[in-house]
DNA sequence: CAGAAATCCCCCGTCATGGGGGATTTTTTA
DNA sequence: TAAAAAATCCCCCATGACGGGGGATTTCTG
């Protein structure tokens, strides 16, 4: 059973020490260092060589989300779990697309945090329940779409940067038919170009 | 404490009965029906009125993934948890985009299954650890990209169906510069059109 | 210092786009 | 079943977007 090396970056001293104390008591967990800002942590990333970093978002100096790419560049194999009060979609998706492997909200009970560290090391993606649902929802479309099935399908192909002829060929219809559908799509979305249609459709999760 | 009404759709009789027996013993859980195929379940969806459906993918007749939209159309408030042996990306993402709210693999221990039912009812998105990580990974880019930052940024704007002039305006550069970048992108990706570039970039998670 | 990255310039022919005007048939739904 | 919605196809036209070809310069970075 290999020890899991953990670094905590959290500006709240009470939380930081609390996490460190409790996690340090887990048999195969080792708190290699704790920091109150990423700026402090930055120069010691390689020497700390953590398996898992618990990372807050709201930090003095560089914020946690912007810190992720720097961490991944310095120590790519390290798993980053966000541990934060923020539950805004933007922050969640930015954290994940920047390279975080987990996302926990701060009222997460300690046993779940403890499990999450092992889970992320073992190839899992620990998330708070609510966060996981938001992530799943991001794959789903709005079921109150004004667009018909065919229109949705064609708009998705426009999104994939295909032109009318390519779409026509794939759907075995005439390019003029595609054009007609596009006219109807533009009318329904109150736009008059491909890019505007995509923007409107994305905003309303129609595609 | 309101009872959670559960329907199980699973063709393996042993599993089906096993799940039903164990879940039925949970205090506020009620197994309203179990089915060995979606075709059997279909006509009773409204009368069963489940809060949560445990749904297998491999079923005789209509498969579980294609069943999801039909279920959501009939009883939109019902939460669907996939419970399957399949861990292929396509199946996972199709299930989630079709409307599933959770995805568990079949070797999931019973306590986790029990928790997942309550979790999904309470707005969570229960997933097996490995699945959750795959979902998170789908937000992340390949860090071994041949494209420069600017090239990636421009390709992302092309993906958003913007034309050279729109990109130029947003980036405060000349449309000719955008064109130059595109030439370089095409060369690096060995393609010669926008749609091919997007396709290649998507396949390799460059955008 | 060399190479990559980012910026801008020209010419050219073709094809894509969007606006305008239709029509027909099939499918869905009230 | 009748009306509405969806899906299909047709024409004209002007603009401009696209990709291929040929460059150049400056700034950043290993």
* Whether the Cβ atoms of residue B129 and residue A125 lie closer than 8 Å to each other: yes
Which residue of B139, B169, B200 to mutate against A (max A Cβ within 10 Å)? B139
Check if A102 contacts B (Cβ < 8 Å). yes
Classify B180 as helix, strand or coil: helix
Report which residue is nearest nucleotide C22 when distances run from CA to C1': A180
Of A122, A129, A195, the CB nearest to B129: A122
Q: How far is the CA of B65 from the C1' of C30 (A)?
A: 30
Q: B97-155: per-residue pLDDT in tens?
A: 999 999 999 999 999 999 999 999 999 999 999 999 999 999 999 888 999 999 999 99
Q: B27-73: per-residue pLDDT in tens?
A: 999 999 999 999 999 989 989 999 999 999 999 999 999 999 999 98
Of B72, B126, B161, the CB nearest to A159: B161
Say if the Cβ atoms of A161 and B158 lie within 8 Å. yes
Measured between beta carbons, the chain B residues lying within 8 angstroms of A194 are: 161
Classify A127 as helix, strand or coil: strand
Kindly state the DSSP code that residue B147 receives in the 8-state scheme.
S
* Segments in A56-143 forming alpha helices (H): 64-74, 89-98, 110-121, 129-137
Q: Average of pLDDT values for B155-179?
A: 96
Instruction: Give pLDDT < 70 ranges for chain A.
Output: none
Check if A151 contacts B (Cβ < 8 Å). no
Q: CA-CA distance, A110 to A130, in Å (whole number)?
A: 17
Say if the Cβ atoms of A123 and B140 lie within 8 Å. no
Say if the Cβ atoms of A133 and B123 lie within 8 Å. yes
Task: Show which of residues 25-64 on chain B sit within 8 Å of chain A, judged by CB atoms.
Answer: none
What pLDDT does residue B164 have? Answer: 96
Measured between beta carbons, the chain A residues lying within 8 angstroms of B125 are: 127, 129, 131-137
What pLDDT does residue B86 have? Answer: 84
Sort strands A79-84 and A4-9 into parallel, antiparallel or unpaired. unpaired
* Whether the Cβ atoms of residue A167 and residue A156 lie closer than 8 Å to each other: no
Copy the structure tokens of residue B65. 């993934």
Q: How far is the CA of B150 from the C1' of C10 (A)?
A: 24
Instruction: Kindly provide the residue ranges of all beta strands, DSSP E only, lying in chain A, ordered along the sequence.
Output: 4-9, 29-35, 52-55, 79-84, 102-105
* Whether the Cβ atoms of residue A71 and residue A46 lie closer than 8 Å to each other: no
Question: In which element (H, E) is residue A189 found?
Answer: helix A175-189
Asked whether residue B174's C-beta has any atom of DNA/RNA strand C within 7 A, the reply is yes
Residues 6+ apart with CB under 8 A from A43: none
Copy the structure tokens of residue B131. 């699945």
Copy the structure tokens of residue A73. 């560049």
Check if A106 contacts B (Cβ < 8 Å). no
Check if B100 contacts A (Cβ < 8 Å). yes
The per-residue DSSP string of chain B comes to -PPEEEEEE-S-HHHHHHHHHHHHTSTTEEEEEEESSHHHHHTTHHHH--SEEEE-SS-SSS-HHHHHHHHHHHSTT-EEEEEES---HHHHHHHHHHT-SEEEETT--HHHHHHHHHHHHTT---B-HHHHHHHHHTTPPPSS-SS-HHHHHHHHHHHTT--HHHHHHHHTS-HHHHHHHHHHHHHHHT--SHHHHHHHHHHTT--
Say if the Cβ atoms of A161 and B161 lie within 8 Å. yes
Q: What are phi and psi of A179, to 5 degrees?
A: -60, -45
Closest CA to B115 of A170, A165, A111: A111
What pLDDT does residue B79 have? Answer: 97
Q: CA-CA distance, B16 to B54, in Å (whole number)?
A: 10
Rounded to two decimals, the pTM is 0.92
Question: In which element (H, E) is residue B53 found?
Answer: strand B52-55
Q: What are phi and psi of A128, to 5 degrees?
A: -65, 150
Residues 124-153 of B with CB under 7 A from strand C: 148-151
Q: CA-CA distance, B75 to B49, in Å (whole number)?
A: 7
Say if the Cβ atoms of A125 and B140 lie within 8 Å. no
Sort strands A79-84 and A52-55 into parallel, antiparallel or unpaired. parallel
Asked whether residue B148's C-beta has any atom of DNA/RNA strand D within 7 A, the reply is no
Helices and strands, number each (H, E), in chain A:
11, 5
Question: How near does any CA of chain A get to the CA of B51, in Å?
Answer: 16
Q: A40-89: per-residue pLDDT in tens?
A: 999 899 999 999 999 999 999 999 999 999 999 889 999 999 999 988 99
Q: Average of pLDDT values for B177-192?
A: 96
Copy the structure tokens of residue B159. 């993906």
Of B123, B162, B166, the CB nearest to A130: B123
Q: CA-CA distance, A177 to A174, in Å (whole number)?
A: 5
Question: In which element (H, E) is residue B34 found?
Answer: strand B29-35
Say if the Cβ atoms of A136 and B133 lie within 8 Å. no
Copy the structure tokens of residue B99. 């409307």
């Amino acid at each position: 059973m290999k020890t899991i090396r953990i670094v905590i970056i959290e500006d709240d001293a009470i939380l930081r020490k609390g996490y460190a104390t409790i996690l340090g008591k887990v048999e195969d967990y080792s708190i290699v260092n704790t920091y109150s800002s990423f700026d402090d942590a930055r120069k010691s990333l390689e020497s700390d060589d953590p398996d898992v970093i618990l990372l807050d978002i709201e930090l003095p100096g560089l914020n946690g989300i912007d810190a992720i790419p720097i961490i991944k560049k310095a120590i790519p194999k390290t798993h980053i779990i966000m541990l934060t009060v923020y539950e805004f979609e933007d922050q969640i998706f930015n954290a994940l697309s920047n390279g975080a492997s987990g996302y926990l909200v701060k009222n997460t009970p300690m046993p779940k945090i403890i499990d999450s560290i092992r889970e992320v090391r073992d190839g899992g993606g620990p998330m708070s329940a609510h966060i996981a649902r938001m992530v799943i929802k991001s794959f789903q479309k709005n079921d109150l779409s004004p667009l018909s099935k065919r229109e949705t399908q064609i708009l998705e192909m426009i999104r994939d940067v295909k032109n009318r002829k390519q779409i026509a060929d794939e759907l075995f219809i005439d390019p003029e038919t595609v054009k007609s559908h596009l006219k109807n799509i533009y009318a329904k979305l109150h736009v008059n170009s491909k890019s505007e249609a995509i923007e409107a459709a994305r905003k309303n999760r129609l595609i």
